[in-house]
Amino acid sequence: MSTVKAPGILHRYTTRLVAFEHTRAGASPNNSLLFVGGLNEGFLTVPYAQDLAAALPPSYSLVEVLLSSAFSGWGHSSISQDVHELGRCVEYFQSLRPGGKVVLMGNSTGCQDVLCYLSYRGSRPKVDGGILQAPVSDREAVQTIYPADDYKRYNEMAQQWVKDGKGDHMLPNEVSLPKLGARVTADRWLSLASPGPEHAGEDDLFSSDLGDGRFQSTFGMAGQSGVALLILFSGNDEFVPKAVDKQALVARMEKAFVDAGGQLGRESGILLNASHTVKDVGEARDEMLKRIKNFVDSIDKGTLGTN
């Protein structure tokens, strides 16, 4: 097992939850980029985290947020819980740095947390922007990982358990542990797998077959707040079915957001040759870091442009 080391500060933003702030010698940032990873991710597990921390403008620091859903916790958690906990973290850093900017960033399933936070209809601390890196459909990804018969059988099992009042019970190990790395409750399985015809799973935000109305209720709601958004969709994302037109999908997300009044980062779009977590050092990662740096810098300076 390799050891990853990074200088930083561990913040306790609730009595049970912490966030890791990357620090740089001589820097005194007043703005915070709060980062949430995908399924099974936690501190220093996303490959580009340290590069991102180093690439940000001096006025920003990268803060990796540990939610209850981190690592294997996602199997018995929910987006609603994530949004509540993320709100507590936003409050903490806004109190720590009065007047500073707060931008949320998600990787993979962390994008669902960010979009749900931005489009949340209840009361929550306001943030200045959001970044979605690899906002892919968990449903479409699951369907590429599981044989069709297994996918159908597990959906039916989970639906029956929910009907029987056992939505918070863990499904058998065979359902998710071997392929997804954690045991999962019936409720969370249905949220991620989002079986048809309704596709009503809380996690089902980015599927290519969702109607415009669904995007308007998520990206559109986020846009209504006037918040800034940067979408970075990996061009070689291994969890996106080959039949999906990535350009068309991203264009629909952006349109729903902008039509509702949102401010879209001018470098939003496809990251050519990038994998799901931009794991390879090189051109694609450099391009991603440049776009993120430009986006957060423009928020800080009030110079955000639109496409």
* Cα 281 to chain centroid, rounded: 21
pLDDT in tens, 44-53: 999 999 999 9
Query: What average pLDDT does range 204-224 have in this prediction?
Result: 97
Q: Which residues contact 211 (CB under 8 A, 6 or more apart)?
A: none
Q: How far apart are CA 187 and CA 140, in angstroms?
A: 18
The confidence score (pLDDT) of residue 5 equals 84
What confidence category does residue 76 fall into, taking pLDDT thresholds of 50, 70 and 90?
very high
- Token readout for 173 is 């190990």
User: Three-state secondary structure along 144-162?
Assistant: HHCCHHHHHHHHHHHHHHH
Q: Which residues contact 256 (CB under 8 A, 6 or more apart)?
A: 212, 215, 216, 218, 219, 220, 223
pLDDT at 17 over 50: yes
What confidence category does residue 306 fall into, taking pLDDT thresholds of 50, 70 and 90?
very low
The verdict on whether omega for the bond into residue 178 sits within 30 degrees of 0, i.e. cis, is no
Query: What average pLDDT does range 231-257 have in this prediction?
Result: 97
- Token readout for 181 is 């790395």
Rg of the chain's alpha carbons, rounded to an integer?
A: 19
What confidence category does residue 272 fall into, taking pLDDT thresholds of 50, 70 and 90?
very high
Q: How far apart are CA 72 and CA 45, in angstroms?
A: 13
Q: Which residues contact 213 (CB under 8 A, 6 or more apart)?
A: none
* Cα 189 to chain centroid, rounded: 18
Q: Which residues contact 28 (CB under 8 A, 6 or more apart)?
A: none
Q: What percent of the chain has pLDDT over 90?
A: 93
- Token readout for 218 is 């998520």
Q: How far apart are CA 18 and CA 11, in angstroms?
A: 5
Q: How far apart are CA 75 and CA 182, in angstroms?
A: 6
| Residue among 102, 105, 110 at smallest CA distance from 37 | 110
The confidence score (pLDDT) of residue 307 equals 41
What confidence category does residue 4 fall into, taking pLDDT thresholds of 50, 70 and 90?
confident
The confidence score (pLDDT) of residue 2 equals 62
What is the pLDDT of the chain when averaged over all its residues? 96
Q: How far apart are CA 59 and CA 297, in angstroms?
A: 8
| Residue among 114, 116, 119 at smallest CA distance from 130 | 114
Contact criterion met (CB below 8 Å) for 207 and 140: yes
What confidence category does residue 305 fall into, taking pLDDT thresholds of 50, 70 and 90?
low
Domain 8-135+207-301 sits in CATH 3.40.50.740: no
Q: Which residues pair with 20 in a beta bridge?
A: 10, 64
Contact criterion met (CB below 8 Å) for 157 and 185: no
Query: What average pLDDT does range 61-78 have in this prediction?
Result: 98
pLDDT at 87 over 70: yes
Return the number of other C-beta atoms located less than 10 Å from residue 128's C-beta: 17
Q: How far apart are CA 168 and CA 187, in angstroms?
A: 6
Query: What average pLDDT does range 112-130 have in this prediction?
Result: 94
pLDDT at 123 over 90: no
Strand 8-12 to strand 18-22: parallel, antiparallel, or no bridges (unpaired)? antiparallel
Specify the pTM.
Answer: 0.96
* Helix residue ranges, H only, 146-211: 148-163, 173-180, 186-193
The confidence score (pLDDT) of residue 22 equals 97
